[in-house]
Structure 1
Amino acid sequence: MRTRFRPDHRLTTRMVVTMFLLGLVYVAFIAALVVLLDSVIMVVVIAGLFLGAQYWFSDRIALYAMQARIVTPEEAPELHGIVDRLCATADMPKPRVAVADTDLPNAFATGRSTRRAVLCVTTGLQRRLDTEELEGVLAHELSHVAHRDVVVMTIASFFGVLAGLVARFSFYSTMFGGGGRRGRDGDNTFLLILLVMAVSAAVYAISFLLIRALSRYRELAADRAGAMLTGRPSALASALTKVSGEIQRMPTRDLRAAEAFNAFFFAPALGSRISLSSLLSTHPTLEQRLDQLATLSTQL
C-alpha cells in the first residue's frame, strides 16, 4: 500500500535484520531439537496455532481485552474528524475507530492488515489532550498501521512463543513424565530434558532482546513519521509529556493490569521507578523521544 507517510528505510532495514537474526536463531533452535528429541511436531503445531490465532484475531482479542468498542462518526464526531483528516493527508484507507472506557490515557493500533486495522483511543486520553495533541498521537498510531508494524511484531514474536512452549513442555515432562524412572535411561532422559529447557530458555532470551530492540526503534520511527505528517512535532511532544506524567501518577494496580498492552500502547504503562522492566522496555525513554521531536522541530 502506498501512502504519503515517507518510506522509512532505516526502520525497514532494522525489521529485515531482526527477522533475519531471529530466523537464524530459529533454525539453530529447531536443529537442536531435532538432535535432542525424537519429535517436536506437537510443539510446533501448538505454536503455529497460537501464531495463527494471534495473526487473524489480533484486533478482536485486543478490543475484547481492553473492553473497547467500535464507534461510529455519530458517536464520536471529533475523533472521527481527526482520523478522516489524517488519513486524507496520508492518502491511506481509514481504519476502524474504537474507544476504551478507561482512565488510563493511551492509544494503540492493531489488526493484521491496513484493511483490518483498528485505531483505539481511551476516554482518559481524550479528556486530557487538546485537539492538536490528540492529532499527533493518532498520526503516530497511523504510522504503525502504514508500516505494518503489528504484522511484523506478531511474526517476530512467534519464535519467542515457540521457545517458551518448548521450555514449559520440557518442564512438565520433568515434573510428571520422568519422575518415576530409574537407572541410566532415566538419568539420560532427565539430562536431555534439562538440556532442551536450557536451549529453549536461551532462544527465548535472544528473541526477547531482539524484539524489544526492534520495538523501541519502531516507536521512534512512528514518532518521526507522525510528527512529519502533522507538521507539529511540538504537539506530539506535549502529548508525550502529558501522557507519561499522568501514567506515572496512576495506581500501580491499574498499571499492572495494562502491562500486557505495552508493546502496542502509545506510551508504556510504567511507573516512575527505574527497574529492569523499564530498561528492557518496549519503548525508548521519554527523553529520547522528546530529543528526537526537538530536533525535528528545528529542522522544520
Structure 2
Amino acid sequence: MATSRFIKDSGLTARMTLTMFLLGALFVGLVVAVIQYVGTGAAPLVAVIAIGIAFWQWWSSDKVAMRAMRAREVTPEEAPELHGMIDRLCALADMPKPRVGIADLSVPNAFATGRSPDRSVVCVTTGILHTLDAEELEAVLAHELSHVAHRDVLVMTVASSAGIAAGLLMRGAQYGALGRRNNGALPAVLVAIVVSLVVYAVSFLLLRLLSRYRELSADRAGAYLTLKPSALATALQKISGQAALTPRDDLRAGNAASALCIVPALRGGGASGLFATHPPLQQRLEQLARIQAELSRPAG
C-alpha cells in the first residue's frame, strides 16, 4: 500500500472507521435477513452481484468520472503549470504522480478518482483555472491528492456495497423473483422489501456522513501539506460563490460527478443536512481557521 507524508487525523479516521463498520454490519445483517425470511438461495446471489457492481465501479471509476465531466487527459506540454504544481505537491507528499485532466466547463471545480494511487487521475475544470490564483489552486490540488493518497475511492466503493445489495434485493422482491419457494410467498416478499428499504435508507445516510468526514479530512491534510490553510479557505469561498454565476448546463454537467468534486456543483439541499455529500462551507472554513491559528502560533 502506498504511503505519503499527508498528516494523519486520528479523530476523523476513528469516525470514518466506525461508519465503515456500521455499513459492513448493515451488509451482513441484510444477507442474514435474506437467509432467514426468503431462503438461502437468494442471499449469496445478492451478495455476489452487489460486490461485483461495487468492484466494477471501483475498477472503472477514473474512466466513468472523466466521461461524466467531459474531461480529457493533458500532457505536461499542454498544461505545464498545472503539471508543475502537481509534480511539486507529489514530491512534497512522497506519493506517485497521478494522471492529469482538464474538463472544459465554466463551473470552477476539481476532483480526484481512480482505483489506486498508481491508477488515479486529478482533474480540474477550465473554470477553476480562470477563478483561482496559484496559491489557491495549489491548495485545491493538495486536497484532491490527499483523496488519492488515502484511497478514498476504494473506501467509498466498499462502503456502498450495502446500499447496492439492498437496492438489488428490493428490485428482485418487487418483481417477485424472490419468495417463489412456496405459495405463501407474499409475506417473504414484503419482508424483503421492508428490510431492503430500511437498509438502503440507513446506508444512504451513513454514506453521506462518511463522505462529509472524507472531505473534512482532505481539507485538513491538504492544508497541512501546503501550510496555507487560508489559501484553501479562499478557494472554497470563490468556488462556492462562482457557482451562482455559472450557466445551468455546466452546473448539470458538473453535478454528474458532484460527490467527487471539492465543492458540490448543484446545491438544492446538498450543501448541508443529512443528505449532503459535503460538509457545510462554514464548517470547513472554521476547521481551516483553527489550523491557520495553530500554524501561526510561535513554536515552543
Partner Cα separation in structure 2 for residue 285 and residue 252 of structure 1: 22
Partner Cα separation in structure 2 for residue 50 and residue 66 of structure 1: 21
1:267 CA displacement: 0.3
Query: For residue 146 of structure 2, what is the aligned residue in structure 1?
Result: 143
Partner Cα separation in structure 2 for residue 260 and residue 190 of structure 1: 38
1:144 CA displacement: 0.7
Cα contact 2:61–2:114 (8 A) shared by 1: yes
Residue 71 (structure 2) pairs with residue 31 (structure 1) = no
Structure 1 pair 112/133, CA: closer, same or farther in 2 (3 Å)?
Answer: same
Query: For residue 84 of structure 1, what is the aligned residue in structure 2?
Result: 87
Residue 16 (structure 2) pairs with residue 15 (structure 1) = yes
Partner Cα separation in structure 1 for residue 4 and residue 49 of structure 2: 37
Moved more, 6-15 or 252-261: 252-261
Partner Cα separation in structure 2 for residue 3 and residue 276 of structure 1: 31
Partner Cα separation in structure 1 for residue 50 and residue 271 of structure 2: 25
Cα contact 1:248–1:270 (8 A) shared by 2: no
1:254 CA displacement: 4.2
Partner Cα separation in structure 2 for residue 42 and residue 270 of structure 1: 36
Partner Cα separation in structure 2 for residue 113 and residue 89 of structure 1: 19
Partner Cα separation in structure 1 for residue 133 and residue 103 of structure 2: 18
Q: Percent identity?
A: 56
Residue 211 (structure 2) pairs with residue 208 (structure 1) = no
Pick one of 124, 128, 134 that aligns with 2:127.
124
Query: For residue 298 of structure 2, what is the aligned residue in structure 1?
Result: none
Partner Cα separation in structure 1 for residue 271 and residue 238 of structure 2: 22
1:11 CA displacement: 2.9
Structure 1 pair 4/151, CA: closer, same or farther in 2 (3 Å)?
Answer: same
Query: For residue 240 of structure 2, what is the aligned residue in structure 1?
Result: 244
How do 1:1-300 residues align onto structure 2 when only pairs under 5 Å count? 1-38=2-39, 39-40=41-42, 41-173=44-176, 188-252=184-248, 254-271=250-267, 275=269, 278-279=272-273, 280-300=275-295
TM-score normalised by structure 2 residue count:
0.90
Structure 1 pair 91/263, CA: closer, same or farther in 2 (3 Å)?
Answer: same
Amino acid at match of 1:49: G
Q: Unaligned regions of 5+ residues in structure 2, if any? A: 296-300
Structure 1 pair 251/101, CA: closer, same or farther in 2 (3 Å)?
Answer: closer
1:207 CA displacement: 1.0
Moved more, 15-24 or 155-164: 15-24
Partner Cα separation in structure 2 for residue 257 and residue 118 of structure 1: 18
Structure 1 pair 72/253, CA: closer, same or farther in 2 (3 Å)?
Answer: closer
Amino acid at match of 1:287: Q
1:143 CA displacement: 0.8
Cα contact 2:3–2:95 (8 A) shared by 1: yes
Partner Cα separation in structure 2 for residue 254 and residue 278 of structure 1: 22
Structure 1 pair 205/260, CA: closer, same or farther in 2 (3 Å)?
Answer: farther
Partner Cα separation in structure 1 for residue 197 and residue 134 of structure 2: 46
TM-score normalised by structure 1 residue count:
0.90
Moved more, 285-294 or 62-71: 62-71
1:206 CA displacement: 1.1
Partner Cα separation in structure 2 for residue 145 and residue 195 of structure 1: 40
Cα contact 2:16–2:213 (8 A) shared by 1: no
1:65 CA displacement: 1.8
Deviations 1:220-239 (A, max 9, x none): 11111111111111111111
Moved more, 1-10 or 281-290: 1-10
Structure 1 pair 8/166, CA: closer, same or farther in 2 (3 Å)?
Answer: same
Partner Cα separation in structure 2 for residue 260 and residue 277 of structure 1: 16
Structure 1 pair 276/86, CA: closer, same or farther in 2 (3 Å)?
Answer: closer
Cα contact 1:270–1:278 (8 A) shared by 2: no
Aligned residues: 290
Partner Cα separation in structure 1 for residue 202 and residue 23 of structure 2: 8
Partner Cα separation in structure 2 for residue 22 and residue 232 of structure 1: 35
SS of residue paired to 2:112: strand
